[in-house]
Chain A
Amino acid sequence: MLDPMLQRIASDPNYHELRTRRLRFGWLLTIAMMIVYYGFILLVAFGKQTLATPIGSGVMTWGIPLGFGVILFTIIVTAIYVMRANREYDDLTDRIKREALK
């Protein structure tokens, strides 16, 4: 069915490693992002008082650093994925390509 090159890639252990590693890491971070975001939304829905509680004696509430925290978290997880992918996944991909095109 498959042409020989695709067949070679499909049975290359490097390819399977790339696929499982990337999928696992991608889903892990996706789930983390969803927990953080929907957790924040549920806190807004059910924990208005908590978010509006002042941190110290001033006007600063827990809600503001938490909101900024969600923004920073979003940027940081994206950066983590991209840095790891650009280092690790591309090396694996190059190895797979070299094998396949031999």
Chain B
Amino acid sequence: MTAFPTIGRILGLSTLISLPSAVLAAGALEGEVARQPTNWTAIGMFAVFVVLTLFITKWAAGRTKSAADFYTAGGGITGFQNGLAIAGDYMSAASFLGISAAVMASGFDGLIYSIGFLVGWPILTFLMAERLRNLGKFTFADVAAFRFEQTPVRMFAAISTLVVVAFYLIAQMVGAGQLIKLLFGLEYWVAVVIVGALMMIYVLFGGMTATTWVQIIKACLLLGGASFMALMVMSAYGFSFERLFAESVRIKTDIATGAGQAPEEAATAGRSIMGPGNFVKDPISAISFGMALMFGTAGLPHILMRFFTVPSAKEARKSVMWATVWIGYFYMLTFIIGFGAITFVLTNPGFLEGGVLGAPLIGGNNMAAVHLANAVGGNVFLGFMSAVAFATILAVVAGLTLSGASAVSHDIYATVIRKGHADSAAELRVSRITVLALGVVAVLLGIAFEKQNIAFMVSLAFAVAASANFPVLFLSLLWGGMTTRGAVIGGFLGLISSVVLTVLSPSVWEATLGNEVGSAPFPYTSPALFSMTLAFLGIWLFSVTDKSRRSQIDKAGYVPQQIRSETGIGAAAASAH
């Protein structure tokens, strides 16, 4: 393993610095974690999940013959199934453990964070979902490049997809390693290799069909487990929020008193969990971060790809409706679970370092939900929830890998290199080679980044999705005046500015690169407000000033594109391709 830290050094990243904010940690499972004793119950339950999903993969492999089967499960998923799969694709282990930990630490602030992750879904529903379904075949680039010159727009979309997938994937791999070290007591690298290997098997052999079912099963297990925990917490307080909150405030006050605060201060600290705290540093950061989450959701390539797995616009709409229901319900549960962790975990010396009240949780604050599982359901339920957390990571990384592979094989290989003349078998072969390559790279990067501060990575993935993918996709659907030149220049402006501004922001400049606190050239939490604006302005400016011959074709293509996007006429033929 000695080669890996060098990669970190070449990239100029310093060793782990724990961010003070629990809310940031919610993005990417952060912080030092101690290896726990090997948990055989958890490993046994996880083994059951693996065996079940491998059987599904075997069944799916038999049905994965063409490129369409591989990318879209043949387009035969129902809206309800797809809604669960989208929820399974979206609810990461980091958001389950991270948000419940954030709620335990600072109460209300955790709720602000989870609301941000939910509000992108209506936007996706109202303006994009059914049009996407009617225009697209395998990837969101099919839609973004529909009426434009294929090569430049596809290249942009593929690069942007790979950037989003890379950051999201690294965050998940590092999270997986940390989590499994914690939950199962396995070595970090063993955990990363297991995740990488299983993800490759699912995607390689089972394609979208296996990925979809892994996501559906994971969503059911996670929602079921989280519901049980929330139910146990609420039943302990006679299903009264007032009693749960009152008890939580009392406990937080006691902890503050125990830390030597004066009664007045302690009471304020206790009550602080019931209102906004330090989540919002300044209004610009708040708006900008909100925009990254809202519009990033509508630009995540692995989520957009799921809309091509359903047979019609109607099913596409049902998909987002169910996805929104499940994800919204899930975030309500994490809020209750976070408060449950205050009353059940923070008061139980058995879960605290050294058994002292007020001490950090054994294994770090991200263990809040895991210790709560133990508190309300005993060791067997603890094993169950640990296995669910592992399954959750697998479902997310499988979706990401499939989306990265499709960008390479469908957008770059089949469309740009072979100019649309690649046969289905060759395209499938390239997909599978890419899956292998992505799997190996993801494992290596996961190991290389073990001790790095990667809290910024999920927010960066959302910022890029909001600033590059979303503006191009959105305007290509709704603005007839857009041209190839506008799409490519504006898209790249959004992509580059969101990455550069993130590097210059405190979460990378100070927390990861180790520069002095307060020295970050870009002072805000998220670049989205600026980089999204730049992308929209860029697309507009370079489209309206575009007098090329190609711009005529681009604009003339809008009416036929619109007819197909609104009515679906011609769409069925395309997905049967």
List residues of A whose CB falls within 8 A of some B CB.
Answer: 1-2, 5-6, 9-10, 15, 18-19, 22, 25-27, 29-30, 33, 37-38, 40-42, 44-46, 48-49, 51-54, 58-61, 63-64, 67-68, 70-72, 74-75, 77-79, 81-82, 85-86, 90, 93, 96-97, 100
Contact A90 B314 (CB under 8 A): yes
**Is B320 in the interface zone, CB < 8 Å from A?**
yes
Interchain CB contact (< 8 A) of B275 among A27, A51, A72, A74: A51
List residues of B whose CB falls within 8 A of some A CB.
Answer: 108, 111-112, 114-115, 118-119, 121-123, 125-127, 130, 241-242, 245-246, 249, 271-272, 274-276, 279-280, 282-283, 286-287, 290, 294, 313-314, 317-318, 320-321, 324-325, 328, 331-332, 335, 556, 559-560, 562-563, 566-569
Contact A33 B242 (CB under 8 A): no
Residues of A within 8 Å of B276, CB to CB, are 44, 48, 51-52, 63
Q: A6-B563, A68-B332, A71-B118 are in contact. Are A30 and B123 (CB under 8 A)?
A: yes
Contact A82 B119 (CB under 8 A): no
C-alpha gap A63/B325 in the complex (Å): 22
Q: A33-B122, A37-B294 are in contact. Are A96 and B275 (CB under 8 A)?
A: no
Closest to B324 in A: A78
B284 nearest CB across to chain A (Å): 9
Residues of A within 8 Å of B325, CB to CB, are 75, 78-79
Residues of B within 8 Å of A58, CB to CB, are 242, 245-246
Interchain CB contact (< 8 A) of A52 among B111, B274, B314, B559: B274
Contact A1 B556 (CB under 8 A): yes
Contact A100 B126 (CB under 8 A): no
Contact A59 B111 (CB under 8 A): no
Residues of B within 8 Å of A74, CB to CB, are 115, 118-119, 121-122, 324, 328
Interchain CB contact (< 8 A) of B569 among A29, A75, A97: A97
Residues of A within 8 Å of B282, CB to CB, are 45
Interchain CB contact (< 8 A) of A29 among B111, B126, B335, B559: B126
Contact B108 A51 (CB under 8 A): yes
C-alpha gap A36/B567 in the complex (Å): 31
Q: A30-B127, A37-B119 are in contact. Are A45 and B286 (CB under 8 A)?
A: yes
Contact A10 B563 (CB under 8 A): yes
Q: A26-B127, A45-B286 are in contact. Are A52 and B122 (CB under 8 A)?
A: no
B543 nearest CB across to chain A (Å): 20
Contact B126 A64 (CB under 8 A): no
B303 nearest CB across to chain A (Å): 15
Contact A64 B111 (CB under 8 A): yes
C-alpha gap A30/B128 in the complex (Å): 11
Residues of B within 8 Å of A85, CB to CB, are 130, 314, 317
Given contacts A15-B567, A78-B122, 13 further A-B contacts (CB under 8 A): A1-B556, A6-B560, A41-B287, A44-B280, A51-B275, A60-B242, A60-B274, A63-B276, A67-B108, A71-B114, A74-B118, A74-B328, A93-B566
Q: Tally A-B pairs: CB < 8 A.
A: 163
C-alpha gap A64/B353 in the complex (Å): 31
Q: A41-B287, A42-B283, A58-B242 are in contact. Are A15 and B328 (CB under 8 A)?
A: no
C-alpha gap A37/B119 in the complex (Å): 7
Closest to A51 in B: B275
Contact B111 A9 (CB under 8 A): no
A76 nearest CB across to chain B (Å): 10
Closest to A101 in B: B569
C-alpha gap A57/B279 in the complex (Å): 26
C-alpha gap A74/B123 in the complex (Å): 10
Contact B569 A86 (CB under 8 A): no
22 residue pairs bridging A and B, Cβ less than 8 Å apart: A2-B559, A6-B559, A22-B566, A30-B123, A33-B122, A38-B287, A40-B115, A44-B286, A45-B286, A59-B249, A63-B108, A63-B275, A64-B108, A71-B331, A74-B324, A74-B328, A77-B122, A78-B121, A81-B317, A82-B318, A93-B566, A97-B567
A46 nearest CB across to chain B (Å): 7
Residues of A within 8 Å of B123, CB to CB, are 30, 33
A69 nearest CB across to chain B (Å): 10
A25 nearest CB across to chain B (Å): 8
A60 nearest CB across to chain B (Å): 5
Contact A45 B280 (CB under 8 A): yes
C-alpha gap A67/B335 in the complex (Å): 11
Interchain CB contact (< 8 A) of A59 among B112, B245, B318: B245
C-alpha gap A93/B568 in the complex (Å): 8
A4 nearest CB across to chain B (Å): 12
Contact B328 A86 (CB under 8 A): no
Interchain CB contact (< 8 A) of A41 among B125, B249, B286, B320: B286
A7 nearest CB across to chain B (Å): 10
